[in-house]
Amino acid sequence: MAILTLFHGTDHIIKAPNLAAGKDTNDYGRGFYCTLLLEMAKEWACKDNVDGFANEYRFDDDGLKVLNLSDGKHTVLNWIALLLQHRIFTIQDEIARDAREYIIEHFSVDTRNYDVIIGYRADDSYFSYAQSFVSNALPLRSLNKALRLGKLGEQTVLVSQKAFDRIKFVDAETADKEIYYPKFIARDAAARQSYQTEVKKSKSYRDDIFVMDILREEIKNDDPRIQRIILG
């Protein structure tokens, strides 16, 4: 049994999280999105430049089924597939439209039998990387590096009623927008800067994979080239 301390950043206090209150268009669909880090929750609480709260909870995950997208068994393509299912993407051309359908079909993870999902939070910079990849403008290696360099935070998401039955409200700390909105903006800017300096300086796309390659060669989730690119 593991008792975790989770934080949820928002503009109000939530003493009784409710699965029905979640939005289907969040990163991994309907759920309650939390972080293990108090400071991160305060930044998320002030992301719209308003004062907010970091709600603190005790969460017992004993016996729950957890999907950890950062466990090494899954790749960034599995993460993108879930985003494509739930988030609203701007699909501007035929390549992006075909890529969306193909990635969902071949790289998505069935989350229906899970209680908790752990994975990247798709803030603006992360979301823009995903859009660029789907539009064939960003190769897989660069996408993977951008996500690892960004440090925008992992989220722990409760996605089943069983999980919601295990979370208990503890307290709520205020988050001052004058302090935490600039921190939120600075973190996103740092992610973009890391991308510019560490990823785009590489001009060689040899042995890399673009989304057009995935479509043309019908690359599947178990293709060894994916692991080679990501681990290389």
Main-chain dihedrals φ then ψ at residue 211, nearest 5 degrees: -65, -30
CA-nearest of 139, 151, 134, 136 to 194 is 151
Distance of CA 204 to the CA centre of its chain: 27
Question: Does residue 61 surpass a pLDDT of 60?
Answer: yes
Segment 145-158 mean pLDDT? 78
- The whole domain housing 57 covers 3-231
How much is the pTM? 0.89
Calculate the dihedral angle through the C-alpha atoms of 43, 18, 170, 47, rounding to the nearest 10 degrees: 10
Question: If we measure between CA atoms, which residue out of 153, 158, 145, 58 comes closest to residue 117?
Answer: 158
Q: How confident is the model at residue 218 (pLDDT cuts 50, 70, 90)?
A: very high
Helices 124-134, 177-194: axis angle to 10 degrees equals: 30
Number of domains in the chain: 1
What are the DSSP E strand ranges found in 111-220?
116-120, 154-158, 167-175
Task: Give SS3 for 167.
Answer: strand
Do residues 152 and 125 make contact, with C-beta atoms less than 8 angstroms apart?
yes
The residue-averaged pLDDT of 176-196 equals 86
CB 128 within 8 A of CB 90: no
- Angstrom distances, CA of residue 13 to CA of 10, 110, 127, 134, 213: 7, 32, 27, 37, 47
pLDDT category at 216 given cuts 50, 70, 90 is very high
Decide if 86 contacts 35 (C-beta within 8 A). Answer: no
pLDDT of residue 151: 58
Q: Which residue has the higher pLDDT, 105 or 139?
A: 105
